[in-house]
């Protein structure tokens, strides 16, 4: 059982927007602005897509955006493209003892 809860799947048609949620607690997502999102294509290593809730690393399209409200963080992918089909994982800092936690992952399907 992962520390952060994500929906197992999400889907959308090309050009549409889709939002993936990541629910934690006040001890992780809600307590710190250190939520990050990773994209993982089959057989590949994860790639950082969003860090510190809403910041985009260089090279990541602005179609990817992040936000947070209370204990739930969200990743929104706008203008869906075929190459966005992948697994997405959220992660959060969880304080000095637990430190880093991941979500269970969401498989995004582009219909």
Partner 1 sequence: QITLKESGPMLVKPTQTLTLTCTFSGFSLSTSGVGVGWIRQPPGKALEWLALIYWDDDKHYSPSLKSRLTITKDTSKNQVVLTMTNMDPVDTATYYCAHLGYCTNGVCYQFDPWGQGTLVTVSS
Residues that bind partner 1 (CB under 8 A): 2, 34, 36, 38, 45-48, 51-52, 55, 57, 89, 91-93, 97-105
Q: How far apart are CB 80 and partner 1 at their closest, in Å?
A: 23
The residues near 110 (Cβ < 8 Å, ≥ 6 apart) are 11, 12, 13, 14, 80, 81, 82, 84, 85
Closer residue to partner 1 in complex, CB, 61/104 = 104
Q: How far apart are CB 89 and partner 1 at their closest, in Å?
A: 5
Q: How far apart are CB 95 and partner 1 at their closest, in Å?
A: 11
Angle 86-12-72 (CA atoms, 0-180°, nearest 5)?
A: 75
């Amino acid at each position: 059982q992962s520390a952060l809860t994500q929906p197992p799947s999400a889907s959308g048609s090309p050009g549409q927007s889709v939002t993936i949620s990541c629910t934690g607690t006040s001890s992780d997502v809600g307590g710190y602005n250190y939520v990050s999102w990773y994209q993982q294509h089959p057989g590949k290593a994860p790639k950082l897509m969003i860090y510190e809730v809403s910041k985009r690393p260089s090279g990541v399209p602005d179609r990817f955006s992040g936000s947070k409200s209370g204990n739930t963080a969200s990743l929104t992918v706008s203008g869906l493209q075929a190459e966005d089909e992948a697994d997405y994982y959220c992660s959060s800092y969880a304080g000095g003892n637990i430190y880093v936690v991941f979500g269970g992952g969401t498989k995004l399907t582009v219909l």
